[in-house]
Amino acid sequence: MPPRQDVLSCVGLSLPEVFYRLVPQVDHGERDLAEKAFKEYFAGQRADQPDPGFYAGILPLLRQFHQDPRFILGVATGNSRRGLNALLEAGGLHSYFLTTQTADEHPSKPHPSMLHQALLETGIEARRAVMIGDTSYDRDMARAAGMHTIGVTWGYHEAHQLSGCTHIAHTVSELPGLISQIMKA
């Protein structure tokens, strides 16, 4: 079993990349089996606990942004399409996002493919877009796509790992102001 810190450092990457990083000595076939077993286990866990446990304040903030015509929302996640759909369903959020991109359809973060497709689908220029994420992979993906980044410290990577973001947010309530600063620049 890899150390917990090693596992947490991989959050945000696609599952094949996670298993490659955590157990590079294991052959490809065994990693595929481990990935399949993990997906089945996780789907069972999700079925047993339908509340996805959103961070405090996130759902009201998403509602606020969704109702504001100045914002177009999208998702770019290392999760699978099945996992993202379950999360959106649990939160009643399907209608909030104009574009949703997952690791099933793109190379793993930090490759910018997900963000390039999201920008294409929304018609937004990269310089007018903001990626909000909790990992250095989110930051690196956004930078590669030419987007601004807000790193949030309540996720999986610590604040020092998010250096290089346009801004760092320590609370959900900071996000609207930081986005406003970016859009005014």
Q: Per-residue pLDDT tens for 117-166?
A: 999 999 999 999 999 999 999 999 999 999 999 999 998 888 999 999 99
Query: pTM for the whole thing?
Result: 0.83
Task: Set out the domains of the chain in order of their start, with CATH numbers.
Answer: 4-48 (no CATH), 58-184 (3.40.50.1000)
Mean pLDDT for 178-184 is 95
Residue-wise burial string across 172-185, b where 16 or more C-beta atoms lie within 10 A, e elsewhere: beebeebbeebeee
pLDDT of 112 > 80? The answer is: yes
Rg of the Cα atoms in the chain: 17
* Mean pLDDT across the chain: 91
Task: For residue 76, list its beta bridge partners.
Answer: 101
User: Cα separations (Å) of 89 from 51, 96, 118, 171, 172?
Assistant: 10, 11, 20, 25, 22
